[in-house]
Amino acid sequence: WAPTASEVLLATHAAADSTAASASVVAMKASVNGTWTAVINGDKNGMIYTYRVKVDGVVREAVDPYVRATTVNGLRGVVVDLSKTNPKGWSVKKPAFSGKPSDAVIYELHVRDLSIDASSGVKARNAGKYLAFTEPKTNVGGTSTAVASIKDLGVTHVELLPVFDYASVDENNPSFNWGYDPQNYNVPEGSYSTDPTNPTTRIIELKSAIQALHDQGLRVNMDVVYNHVYNAPSFSQNQIVPGYFFRTDNNGNLTSGSGCGNDVASERPMVSKFIVDSVKYWATQYNLDGFRFDLMGLMDVGTVTAISAALKKIDKSIIVIAEGWNMGTLPDKDKAGQMNVDLLPGVSMFNDQLRDGIKGSVFEKLDQGFATGKLTTTNNVQVGITGNIYYSSQFSQNWTTIAPGQSVNYVESHDNLTLADKITASVPTANPAQVAQLARFASSIALLAQGLPFIQAGQEFLRSKGGDDNSYKSSDAVNSIKWNTKAANITTYKYFQGLIALRKAHPAFRMSTEAQVVKNLKFYTVPNSVVMYSIAGKAVGDKVASFVVIHNPNASAQNVKLPKAGKWSVVVSGDKAGTSVISAGTMSEVSVAPQSTMVLQQ
């Protein structure tokens, strides 16, 4: 599509690094609606090609924006027969999942982080690669690692940081980068491939990773970045239709609400079409189960609505989550962010109000939250526990969902300090055992809250990045998951495992409508900023009649009077959690350990 071009040539190349002079060119014909077409006879599988587009007398060379495969480092497009890229055992079958966001537990993971450390147990040739996911039974000293550990944990979805082709790493000599630097949107990143010079290897190996996770009962989500690109002037769409793909200010300069030097103009029809087509392609060709949208507040409501509708047609169980921060460069009414979450029923958004309420501001290292000693944030914690629905006029909330599943509940992600590092910084007197206790406490609030729980890989055994709060291009020494630290922190791992099992076993923790939460979840006034709530289970199909959840943020144990006296069973207490009964008896009052969570059922 090049509506402003006066001439378009299809250039085919003999090799990935052949000179421009050696290319063969075919003139393309102007067709309908600004498109240009050419037909070349024969089997062109493996053909290397680019477009040469003349606009206002200037010829620019561009990779096809819709290209499915490229040469190394994404410099030229390659024609591929996608039917030949399905690995052995490829299946469209997926692990069972209801499609309700509140039934998911998401595990955020960077491909390289999983296995680049020697303690992953993954074969050296697969370390840092897609194929690490095809090793399902790794361990270190008998303790499960990598995919085996993730499966044992009980999460439902593995969310991969960007695996599309990004520009900030040399595929011939890979280093670390998060990957939020789009270059070719519909091509897998080559640095995670065992042979980035072979255009199909990365496709086959990414599909192999997805299939391997599916085989282990884990669904796979993809982190996508349609709000900005790595380099706007050289981006393929900008070479083909200069000035169309990106927003500009009144002076004609590129806007940068993203902070990355450019903002994709998703509100323009052909940009919107491209984004929707791209998401559909990944969902179908790679059999993906969900998407996480980076900085969705820079995208328009119309495009996101179209994405949701398209995905539901493909597979009703696909989930969409997003950063819904209030970003610049679009009118508020058009932003696909928290302020318009009511217009986007198919999208769940990260809950920063709950996150900061629990652990303190992510922008102030020393700031504390409810779990770390600042007892004035109970409002934000309670709002988050409801899934940020409109629960009571007594609550003050930054944004309001129309269903609890629209709230992504978390206290750690790849951004900012890890939870353990945040606690170490904001509670400098805490010893390692206390850091672990506070991390369990903080995480329990998010994992038990109504909505969609989300953890970062390694959070379950106190992952540290050495205090690095922006590790987007830091070394493997900083970013890699140190699986050999899991055994020492197995108590915390088992605590996460238990909370996830409890959540999955009981619909009471997974209500899907605002009405259910308002009717069945009740808060109680308790001294000393203790947060206590009950959930009526039977009304939402739970075999347990009633749960009571108590979060004690104090540095001392608290005696808490239960909503009603009777026979109660404790399933979460201190550093233990799960579906098994820890203690039981007739109770009217309980003692809740310092800075910890207790859950009782009857």
The 3 state secondary structure assigned to 119-181 is: HHCCCHHHCCCHHHHHCCCCEECCEECHHHHHHHHCCCEEEECCCEEECCCCCCCCCCCCCCC
pLDDT, residue 503, reads 99
Q: What is the pLDDT of residue 22?
A: 80
Within a domain: residue 94?
A: no
Q: Is the dihedral of CA 350, 467, 327, 234 positive or negative?
A: negative
Whether 352 is catalytic: no
- pLDDT value for 482: 99
Pair (203, 300) in one structural domain: no
Q: Is residue 143 part of a domain?
A: yes
- Mean pLDDT of the region 294-305: 99
**pLDDT tens, position by position, 422-478:** 999 999 999 999 999 999 999 999 999 999 999 999 999 999 999 999 999 999 999
Q: How many domains does the chain have?
A: 3
Residue (of 410, 363, 366) closest to 159 by Cα position: 410
The mean pLDDT value for 515-524 works out to: 99
pLDDT beyond 90 at 15: no
pLDDT at residue 19 in the model: 73
- CA torsion 318-279-270-164 (nearest 10°) is 150
Same domain, yes or no: 180 and 144: yes
Among residues 131, 177, 149, 153, the alpha carbon closest in space to that of 482 is found at 149
Lookup: tokens for 147: 């995919």
The DSSP secondary-structure symbol of 435 reads H
User: Confidence class of residue 266 from pLDDT cuts 50, 70 and 90?
Assistant: very high
Residue at 305 is within a domain: yes
**Does 425 fall in a domain?**
no
For residues 6 and 152, what is the distance between their CA atoms, to the nearest angstrom? 59
Q: What percent of the chain has pLDDT over 70?
A: 100
- Phi/psi region, residue 46 (left: phi>0; alpha: psi -120 to 50; beta: rest), is left
* 18 pLDDT tier (thresholds 50, 70, 90): confident
The residue-averaged pLDDT of 385-407 equals 98
Q: Examine the domain organization and report whether 269 and 322 are in the same domain.
A: yes
In a domain, 313, yes or no: yes
Residue 217 shares a structural domain with residue 249: no
Domain boundary among 198, 222, 246: 222
The answer to whether position 555 is within a domain reads yes
- Mean pLDDT for the stretch of residues 144-162: 99
Could you say which of 222, 245, 263 is where a domain stops?
222
CATH number, domain containing residue 539:
2.60.40.1180
Mean predicted lDDT score pLDDT of the chain? 98
**Residues 152, 245: one domain?**
no
Same domain, yes or no: 530 and 576: yes
Shared-domain flag, residues 273 and 201: no
Instruction: Based on the fold, state whether residues 202 and 236 are members of the same structural domain.
Output: no
pLDDT exceeds cutoff 90 at 540: yes
Query: What percent of the chain is predicted at pLDDT more than 90?
Result: 98
What own/partner pairs with CB < 8 Å and gap ≥ 24 does 258-263 have?
Answer: 258/227, 258/228, 258/295, 258/298, 258/327, 260/180, 260/228, 260/230, 261/228, 261/231, 261/232, 262/228, 262/229, 262/232, 263/227, 263/228, 263/298, 263/329
pLDDT of residue 40: 95
Question: Which one of 323, 421, 460, 514 is the catalytic residue?
Answer: 323
- Indicate whether 164 belongs to any domain: yes
The CATH number for 148's domain is 3.20.20.80
Are residues 157 and 239 part of one domain? no
In a shared domain, residues 202 and 231 = no
Helix and strand tally (H, E) in the chain? 13, 27
Residue 323: active-site member = yes
Mean pLDDT of 209-233: 99
How far is the C-alpha of 443 from the C-alpha of 36, rounded, in Å?
54
Q: How many CA atoms lie within 13 A of 168 on its CB side?
A: 17
Catalytic residue, chosen from 64, 135, 294, 460, is 294
Give me the domain span that covers residue 577: 521-601
At residue 16, the pLDDT reads 87
**pTM (global) more than 0.85:** yes
248 and 172 belong to one structural domain: no
Picking from 196, 222, 248, the residue at the C-terminal end of a domain is: 222
> 543 and 578 share a domain?
yes
Question: 243: part of which helix (H) or strand (E)?
Answer: none
Rounded average pLDDT over 199-205: 99
Position 401 in a domain:
no
